[in-house]
């Protein structure tokens, strides 16, 4: 083991104390560091990563750095003093030889494998140079993760380095050192997997994640209390953050006093009233349940029974539209209740402006911690059967909002169109809780299918963020004028796969790229998303991409991933296709009153997503499809979505407004399963077979029969309704 030179010790004595005043470093996994020489591979977030790493490590670290920086006159004396190794990308042999010698002498050699600073706080492509050093030195490889540095003045948060104020001093930093990997085992996918796991380890230990959801909302609304929180897209009335908090606080006192119930249903579309109701229920220490009023009476009766719902919040006009809804015994009508509460609202409104946050939290009786307690209950759309109650904890919501905050990097000028229903997990976290916590202005509209009216709101209020599903985006293509969406800076889709023709047509019409993301109700929901490319900081600078067509983007911070064999759960490389498993603060707590189905998907903190996926070398995630949307025919896995895409292409069906086809699997004695094509258009099977054959489609992918239907069943979100599709196929059989 090498020791510090006298000059290095002097430098540490002089520089160490002031640096520790600036950074409060917490190190985990120091026991994992080998006693001899090894190669250290950390993520690279800021210009001061090397300094922070050295504060955490008890031994001197020799950094491999770009020769351009090594030779800068102001830096060279210090870099030479601490034993840095310069490297020229075009002539790297001397640096590799020097690093190998240092490791052989028992030194720690550190290389940042991404090769450049992260521009979105997500892990970049890992460069292969480290593999040469590890192999030549035959040395252990130790991955390391630096957490919480994103947002410091030395990171690219906000699209710039340096020119921002420190968020706090001392700045807290968490560093985790992983277990050593043998040189031959430290390939690109393995190192990426280990880095993601260390990132999840660090992220999940952030103290702020244990706050109660209500506390996070109060803190968010207390910032700039006179700024607009929400605009109702129907009547264009506004609520400031302070007024929203005051009204919700008054309503929460009423709910606490009148109803001992643990959970309260909310039956409203996306609106100012719905936002108020959700916030009030949370401030009351209860669990809001936004019920999906589009899924029918039987499904909602099941939801009400499972959650033991006796109280609901709605509005008279909306109740009149729901003729066959199973209302619980107590229904609070906001349009009748809130006008009667003006005397209670005004004092809380004033307190929300004048009273310090900590005192206001005590007056509202909000617990100090939320943790793993139930915060929100969402019911799945029931695509494959009876709706499941997904228990989302305070840590889940607070954590996923924090993850989405880093990905979105919103500015004070951003504003969101909130037309997704709050019973949809995407709408719940991203257009309800995220704006409340982060202070982002929203404009609500109750129907995402009314594209022309939504587009008019985007133009009128200069909205910058549109979050939708592909089904809803098709409405904009048909009904919205191109100039209506000029103010948008980001269009993100989720919930279903984004067809490439839709993305292309949308960009051509509106000059707006569509960025696909991925998530599940069980992940609260954001897992990954494509993002606009970061701007180079200087001419000619090569910046790694933040989006890739066909992928669902890069993983949100704090989420670990594994790829496993679907039938045996045997672990595969991240670059192989298999079952996607995830772990992170955003993974749900389980299904309500359903331990069997919970045990099927949750194991040792890992979630079995049910999706088949893989990662490419740049870290982009590709979802090949739901396992439930595959058929095993003759021993081979046949993807329904890929077949549908091929059929749409060969028959030129992409221009239709409604979904034209759906592929379903049925039992077959000879080959296990056979394919049935449900079609809302007339299709000649012989002609289809010929065209698929000409397109090079395997015989196993060709449907056995075509079943004509009036329309393809879909849910309100645009997802395929697999339950009704299966009923159509079985009815025919």
Residue 517 CA from chain centroid, whole number: 8
User: Is 60 exceeded by the pLDDT of residue 384?
Assistant: no
Instruction: Kindly state whether residues 195 and 219 are assigned to the same domain.
Output: no
Tell me the C-alpha distance between 294 and 325, whole Å.
10
**Report for 92-101, 146-155, 497-506: range of highest mean pLDDT:** 497-506
Are the beta carbons of 351 and 283 closer than 8 angstroms?
no
The domain boundary residue, chosen from 161, 184, 205: 205
Express as a percent the part of the chain with pLDDT over 70. Answer: 89
pLDDT at 2: 58
The domain boundary residue, chosen from 159, 177, 205: 205
| Mean pLDDT, residues 192-202 taken together | 96
The domain boundary residue, chosen from 560, 583, 615: 615
Assess if residue 433 is contained within a domain: yes
User: Is 60 exceeded by the pLDDT of residue 11?
Assistant: no
Assess if residue 725 is contained within a domain: yes
Are the beta carbons of 279 and 246 closer than 8 angstroms?
no
Put residue 681 in one of left, alpha, beta given phi > 0 → left and psi -120 to 50 → alpha: beta
Structural domains counted in the chain: 3
- Higher per-residue confidence, 29 vs 96: 29
Assess if residue 236 is contained within a domain: yes
Instruction: Kindly state whether residues 223 and 190 are assigned to the same domain.
Output: no
Reported as type and span, the H/E element at residue 110 is strand 108-110
Instruction: Kindly state whether residues 421 and 496 are assigned to the same domain.
Output: yes
Q: What are phi and psi of 304, to 5 degrees?
A: -65, -40
Query: What are the tens digits of pLDDT across the range 275-324?
Result: 999 999 999 999 999 999 988 888 899 999 999 999 999 999 999 999 88
Assess if residue 579 is contained within a domain: yes
Tokens 């929901």 locate to 525
Are the beta carbons of 443 and 233 closer than 8 angstroms?
yes
Are the beta carbons of 681 and 659 closer than 8 angstroms?
no
Confidence of residue 88 (pLDDT cuts 50, 70, 90): confident
- Which domain covers residue 449, as residue numbers? 213-532+548-615
Of 43-47, 203-207, 432-436, 608-612, the range with the lowest mean pLDDT is 43-47
pLDDT at 543: 75
Instruction: Kindly state whether residues 610 and 669 are assigned to the same domain.
Output: no
User: Is 60 exceeded by the pLDDT of residue 686?
Assistant: yes
Give the contacts of 64 (CB within 8 A, at least 6 positions apart): 84, 85, 86, 87, 95, 99, 109, 110, 111
pLDDT at 428: 93
Assess if residue 173 is contained within a domain: yes
Q: The tokens of 241 are what? A: 């953050």
- b/e per residue 353-381 (b: at least 16 CB within 10 A): beeeeeebbeebebeeebeebbbbbbbbb
Compute the mean pLDDT over every residue in the chain, rounded to the nearest whole number. 87
Instruction: Kindly state whether residues 605 and 644 are assigned to the same domain.
Output: no
Instruction: Kindly state whether residues 270 and 360 are assigned to the same domain.
Output: yes
CATH code for the domain in which residue 351 is found:
3.40.50.12780
Query: What are the tens digits of pLDDT across the range 149-160?
Result: 877 676 777 666
Nearest Cα to Cα of residue 647 among 670, 601, 623, 678: 678
Q: What pTM does this model have?
A: 0.87
Assess if residue 261 is contained within a domain: yes
Assess if residue 62 is contained within a domain: yes
- HEC string for 285-326: CCEEEECCCCCCHHHHHHHHHHHCCCEEEECHHHHHHCCCCC
Tell me the C-alpha to C-alpha distance, in Å, between residue 483 and each of 342, 455, 501.
41, 9, 21
Give the helix ranges, DSSP H, for 119-187.
129-137
pLDDT at 21: 59
Tell me the C-alpha distance between 576 and 705, whole Å.
32
Are the beta carbons of 377 and 592 closer than 8 angstroms?
yes
pLDDT at 657: 64
Query: What are the tens digits of pLDDT across the range 551-589?
Result: 999 999 999 999 999 889 999 999 999 999 999 999 999
């Amino acid at each position: 083991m090498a020791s510090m030179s006298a000059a290095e010790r002097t430098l540490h004595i002089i520089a160490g104390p002031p640096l520790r005043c600036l950074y409060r470093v917490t190190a985990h996994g120091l026991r994992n560091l080998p006693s001899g020489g090894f190669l250290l591979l950390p993520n690279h977030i800021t210009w001061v990563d090397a300094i922070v790493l050295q504060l955490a490590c008890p031994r001197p670290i020799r950094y491999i750095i770009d020769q351009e920086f090594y030779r800068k006159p102001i830096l060279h004396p210090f870099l030479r003093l601490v034993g840095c190794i310069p490297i020229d990308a075009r002539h790297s042999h001397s640096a590799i030889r020097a690093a190998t010698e240092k490791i052989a002498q028992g030194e720690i050699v550190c290389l940042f494998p991404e090769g450049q600073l992260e521009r979105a706080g997500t892990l970049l492509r890992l460069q292969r140079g480290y593999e040469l050093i590890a192999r030549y030195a035959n040395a252990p490889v130790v991955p390391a993760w630096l957490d919480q540095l994103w947002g410091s003045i030395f990171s690219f948060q906000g699209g710039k380095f340096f020119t921002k104020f420190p968020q706090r001093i001392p700045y807290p930093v968490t560093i985790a050192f992983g277990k050593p990997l043998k040189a031959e085992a430290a390939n690109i996918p393995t190192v990426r997997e280990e880095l993601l796991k260390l990132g999840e380890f660090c992220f999940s230990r952030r103290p702020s994640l244990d706050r109660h959801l209500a506390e996070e909302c109060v803190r968010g609304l207390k910032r700039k209390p006179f700024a607009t929180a929400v605009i109702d897209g129907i009547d264009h009335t506004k609520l400031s953050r302070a007024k929203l908090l005051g009204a919700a606080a008054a309503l929460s006192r009423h709910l606490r006093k009148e109803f001992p119930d643990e959970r309260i249903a909310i039956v409203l579309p996306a609106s100012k009233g719905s936002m108020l109701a959700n916030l009030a229920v949370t401030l009351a220490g209860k669990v809001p349940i936004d019920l999906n009023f589009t899924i029918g009476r039987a499904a909602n009766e099941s939801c009400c029974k499972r959650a033991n719902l006796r109280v609901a919040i709605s509005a008279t006009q909306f109740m009149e539209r729901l003729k066959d809804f199973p209302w619980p015994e107590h229904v609070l009508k906001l349009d009748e209740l809130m006008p009667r509460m003006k005397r209670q609202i005004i004092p809380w409104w004033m307190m929300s402006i004048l009273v310090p946050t900590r005192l206001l939290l005590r007056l509202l009786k909000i617990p100090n911690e939320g943790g793993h307690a139930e915060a929100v209950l969402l019911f799945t759309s029931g695509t494959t059967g009876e709706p499941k109650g997904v228990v989302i904890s305070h840590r889940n919501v607070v954590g996923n909002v924090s993850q989405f905050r880093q990905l979105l990097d919103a500015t004070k000028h951003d504003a969101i169109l909130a037309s997704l229903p709050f019973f949809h997990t995407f709408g719940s976290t991203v257009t309800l809780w995220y704006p409340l916590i982060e202070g982002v202005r929203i404009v609500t509209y109750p129907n995402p299918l009314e594209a022309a009216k939504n587009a008019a709101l985007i133009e009128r209020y200069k909205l910058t963020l549109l979050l939708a599903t592909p089904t809803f985006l098709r409405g904009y293509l048909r009904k919205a004028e191109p100039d209506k969406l000029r103010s948008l800076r980001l269009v993100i889709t989720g919930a279903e796969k984004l067809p490439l023709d839709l993305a292309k047509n949308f960009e051509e019409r509106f000059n707006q790229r569509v960025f696909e993301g991925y998530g599940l109700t069980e992940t609260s929901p954001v897992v990954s998303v494509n993002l606009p490319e970061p701007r180079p900081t200087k001419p000619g600078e090569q910046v790694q991409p933040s989006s890739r067509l066909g992928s669902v983007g890069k993983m949100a911070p704090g989420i670990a991933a594994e790829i496993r064999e679907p039938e045996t759960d045997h672990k595969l490389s991240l670059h192989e296709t298999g079952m996607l498993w995830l772990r992170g603060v955003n993974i749900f707590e389980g299904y309500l009153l359903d331990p069997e189905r919970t045990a099927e998907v949750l194991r040792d903190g890992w979630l079995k997503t049910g999706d088949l996926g893989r990662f490419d070398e740049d870290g982009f995630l590709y979802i090949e499809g739901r396992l439930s949307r595959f058929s095993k025919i003759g021993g081979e896995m046949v993807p329904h979505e890929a077949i549908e895409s091929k059929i749409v292409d060969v028959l030129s069906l992409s221009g239709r407004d409604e979904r034209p086809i759906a592929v379903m699997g049925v039992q077959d004695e000879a080959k296990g399963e056979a394919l049935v094509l449900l079609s809302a258009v007339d299709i000649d099977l012989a002609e289809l077979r010929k065209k698929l054959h000409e397109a090079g489609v395997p015989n196993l992918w060709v449907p056995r029969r075509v079943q004509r239907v009036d329309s393809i069943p879909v849910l309100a979100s645009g997802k395929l309704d697999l339950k009704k599709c299966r009923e159509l196929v079985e009815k025919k059989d």
